[in-house]
Structure 1
Amino acid sequence: MSEAVRKVIIKKVRKKHGERHHSGSWKVAYADFVTAMMAFFLLLWLLSMVSTEKRAVMAEYFKNFSLFKESGKTFQPGSAFVITDHIKKAELKPENVAMSLKKALGRKGAGQQGKAPGTGQEEALMEHLRVDAVDGGVRIQIIDREGSPMFQLGSAEPTEKCREIIAAVAEVIRDQDARVAVEGHTDAAPFRGDQITNWELSTSRASAARRMLESSGLDPARVARVVGYADTDLLVKLNPKDPQNRRISIILLQPGTGGAALAELKKEIPGSMQPQMPAAVAAKRAPADEAPDREQSARQALQEKKAAMKKKKRDVMGLWD
């Protein structure tokens, strides 16, 4: 045959393609990463908007959190007034105490009138309160306003508004560890006759405030002292008869401080409710024919000097003679 039979050869070739780009799985991982970063920066932004005291409460809450312990505690401002033990023992600060007082007054006003908290009644009651820091603690002052006294005129009988404010104060301070000192102050308006003076009145009002605190839940063992100062320490010195000079001071001493100062003050004032009599008054009451010797005179002068220095500087508890 002239033509040879051609053999058909079938060649199978496998085409090599470029490496696949892992399809779309990398996009899922990248999206997860971006979402996590967004959540992280959003958390940082939210934390920067929270006040310092609220951040401290949140930190304490999560520091001691456990699934196996009692739950239900909260740190939100609008929630029920529940404080854990480690928050109760936190450092006393005037802003924290003032905020707690405002909330307590709002809750009491809402409970009595059947209204929601924050109706404005607490603002009116807060006008009678001043909270400031003293060495080693915090002082809460309950002051009179023009036409709105805390006690009946010339007596230690508290008004209904005073009872409400002191009940709110007791609610705030009863779970603290701080010792409590109660002071009574009056204005410079004198009494007619010699039956009662501002010394007796200020001491009686301080004792009445102590009784109201204890009846509202304050542990009596935490009361360090109750004393009246009459008109010797005016709040408005330029106007001795200003209503704001009539006030009750409740001083909270930070735990672990002020023990020595308290012991010293108790030595100077025998009895927790006995006001210290000025040296000048004591000298007038001494018999005319009994002149003190030089040593006694020097001792009295030294005591007067110490009293003046303490009144300017204040002691650790914020109490002064």
Structure 2
Amino acid sequence: MSDGKVVIIKRKKKAAHEAHGGSWKVAYADFVTAMMAFFLLLWLLAMVSPEKKMALSDYFQNFSLFKEQTAGGGKTILPEKTGVLPGQAPSMKSAVPSSPGATSTRKQVSPGELAERMKESIHRRLHYLKDQVLVDTVEGGVRVQITDLEGSLMFASGSDVPSEKAVRILELVSENIRDVDNKIAIEGHTDAAPFTSGKITNWELSTARASAARRILEKNGIDPNRIARVVGYADQELLIKENPLDPRNRRISIILINQAPQAVSLPENLPPAKPIGTERVTPSTLPIKQK
């Protein structure tokens, strides 16, 4: 200090940090929740079957006037039953009343044109069910067959209660044939598996299913006077003769009969039809337990 210099020491005073807030935690929690929901959605979409995806797509893309369907837990358009009733049930009144001039508004359509219209409608509206609907022209008219597939039944096992798929197909068929003048024949068919109980047989079951199909057609605007015949063939007219237990033998056939001056007669020995979207029918080699 003899030289007289003054030493000045500057000390930087550190300001105290402000208290940290917790708002960032809320934002982070929202982000994590959103990401969890996103990946959960991706997982759920991966678990949905292609059939359900097509049904969901069809629901939003195609408008339908028919809102009453047999969804799980919903109401069915048919009366509830606890079992199969032998014979035919009484006719239900048509949901669309027929006016006196209704017949005059119908038109004659060629079998080929009607079949193509039906195929196009099924491709557009019920693409995911096209393998279970067979449409072809036969001697005497146009034939539409609604068949079972393994794991996809048109009727509950051993019953005449139609599934939601059967109702949707029959509604679409009604929509396409409502404006034509052809008489209609409805046939019920089963496979060759017999019933273990002696209460009913395949004859009663096939007839009851044909009558159930008739009721749906009439409910959706088909004039009851156009119904020429409702019959059950049991397992006597197999679609897949090589395999009597093939699920496709369980089917409903709807035949649009060509009008002629003479009395209407149903064609016999009709050839097998091909499913829409396939080239040939291959018999299943697996044993079928359901009817």
1:177 to 176, 181, 188: 181
Q: Which residue of 1 aligns with 2:239?
A: 235
Indicate yes or no: 2:248 matched with 1:244: yes
1:196 to 161, 180, 200: 200
> What residue ranges of structure 1 are gaps of 5+ in the alignment?
1-77, 107-121, 266-309, 315-321
Q: Which residue of 1 aligns with 2:120?
A: 99
Query: TM-score of the superposition, structure 1-length normalised?
Result: 0.49
The change in CA–CA distance for 1:173 and 1:239 in structure 2 (over 3 A counts) is same
Q: Which residue of 1 aligns with 2:230?
A: 226
1:126 to 130, 137, 156: 130
**Contact 1:145–1:244 under 8 Å retained in 2:** yes
SS at match of 2:181: coil
SS at match of 2:180: coil
How far is 1:182 from its partner? 0.1
The change in CA–CA distance for 1:186 and 1:88 in structure 2 (over 3 A counts) is same
Q: Which residue of 1 aligns with 2:143?
A: 139
Q: Which residue of 2 aligns with 1:15?
A: none
CA distance in 2, matches of 1:312, 1:171: 25
The change in CA–CA distance for 1:257 and 1:123 in structure 2 (over 3 A counts) is farther
- 1:220-249 per-residue CA deviation (whole Å, 9 max, x = no partner) reads 110000000000010011110000000000
CA distance in 1, matches of 2:260, 2:142: 14
Regions of 4+ moved over 3 Å? 78-81, 85-88, 100-103, 310-314
The change in CA–CA distance for 1:185 and 1:258 in structure 2 (over 3 A counts) is farther
- 1:157-200 per-residue CA deviation (whole Å, 9 max, x = no partner) reads 00111111100010001111100000000000110121100000
CA distance in 1, matches of 2:162, 2:63: 31
Indicate yes or no: 2:108 matched with 1:89: yes
- 1:252-285 per-residue CA deviation (whole Å, 9 max, x = no partner) reads 01222662525xx9xxxxxxxxxxxxxxxxxxxx
Aligned residues: 171
CA distance in 1, matches of 2:198, 2:64: 51
- 1:197-226 per-residue CA deviation (whole Å, 9 max, x = no partner) reads 000000000000000000011111100000
The change in CA–CA distance for 1:184 and 1:79 in structure 2 (over 3 A counts) is closer
SS at match of 2:213: helix
Let me know the Cα RMSD of the aligned residues.
2.8
How far is 1:97 from its partner? 2.5
The change in CA–CA distance for 1:215 and 1:313 in structure 2 (over 3 A counts) is closer
Rg bigger for which structure?
A: 1
**Aligned amino acid, residue 108 of structure 2:** K
Higher helix fraction (1 or 2): 1
Percent identity of paired positions between Structure 1 and Structure 2: 50
CA distance in 1, matches of 2:211, 2:109: 28
SS at match of 1:261: coil
The change in CA–CA distance for 1:197 and 1:136 in structure 2 (over 3 A counts) is same
Q: Which residue of 1 aligns with 2:209?
A: 205
**Contact 2:138–2:271 under 8 Å retained in 1:** no
How far is 1:79 from its partner? 12
Indicate yes or no: 2:221 matched with 1:217: yes
Higher relative contact order (CA 8 A, sep 6+): 2
**Contact 1:141–1:248 under 8 Å retained in 2:** yes
**Contact 1:182–1:250 under 8 Å retained in 2:** yes
Q: Which residue of 1 aligns with 2:172?
A: 168
Trace 1:291-306 onto structure 2 (pairs within 5 A): none
The change in CA–CA distance for 1:256 and 1:194 in structure 2 (over 3 A counts) is same
How far is 1:127 from its partner? 1.6
**Contact 1:185–1:231 under 8 Å retained in 2:** yes
CA distance in 2, matches of 1:208, 1:79: 25
**Contact 1:138–1:252 under 8 Å retained in 2:** yes
How far is 1:99 from its partner? 1.6
Q: Which residue of 1 aligns with 2:259?
A: 255
**Contact 1:143–1:245 under 8 Å retained in 2:** yes
